[in-house]
Amino acid sequence: MFYPFDYTFILLIPALILAFYAQSKVKSTYATLSQKRSRAGLSGFEVAQQLIQQNNLSLRVEETPGQLTDHYDPSREVLRLSTDVARGGSIADYSIAAHEVGHALQKREKYGAFALRSILVPVASIGSQAAFPLFFIGLIFSFRFLMDIGILFFSLAVLFQVITLPVEYDASRRAYLALTHSGLIAVDEQPDIKKMLNAAALTYVAATAMAALQLLRLILLRQSRD
């Protein structure tokens, strides 16, 4: 939501640049590595199943529509892979499938940050949706208590983003180890696996930076009403 003469919007420019770069990076990396067919000759769906079996996990794999919509659902013990990843057999597809398996490993091993993030999901969702309407209604009508509630709600969303960072990097670390120990990836394919995982992780850095600067913006706007 933008307002005339809102100088605080300048704060978001670095995060917007980083977000644009991160999205471009992950898309270009995926586009490049999706052309590199892995010598294992398996699909992303099959790789996920192999890693699940090798790591003694109990979850099913499903194909889901959309592009890069891959995710792990811990409540249903389902690993969902987008159509391109599930049916593809590239280095990029293997990396993404393994990353989601990494999240399943986090749950099994009771990784603290993963457990905390799971608890915060509903709170952060409500907070991110309610924060801006409450804050800007308070800003327009000078209801300072509404602005404070909006900041509190958005702080929860920022906390969620901050916790997400180590969760995603740890899932990528687990994915890399799982793939390199699985026998599915050749030694000369490993650098490309790491490249794909690092590019994907950068999007979470950008999201965290954007959320933190947005929170700072709300605080500055709130102080301007004192």
HEC assignment per residue over 21-41: HHHHHHHHHHHHHCCCECCCC
Burial of 71 (0-12, 13-18, 19+ CB in 10 A): middle
Q: Which of 62, 63, 77, 100 is catalytic?
A: 100
Amino acid at 28: S
100 is catalytic: yes
Vertex 72 angle, CA 180 and 152, to 5°: 120
Contact 106, 166 (CB under 8 A): no
3-state helix, strand, coil in the chain (%, to 5): 75, 5, 20
Contact 8, 199 (CB under 8 A): no
Torsion of CA 22, 27, 28, 34, to 10 degrees: 140
HEC assignment per residue over 117-178: HHHHHHHHHHHHHHHHHHHHHHHHHCCHHHHHHHHHHHHHHHHHHHHHHHHHHHHHHHHHHH
Active site residues: 100
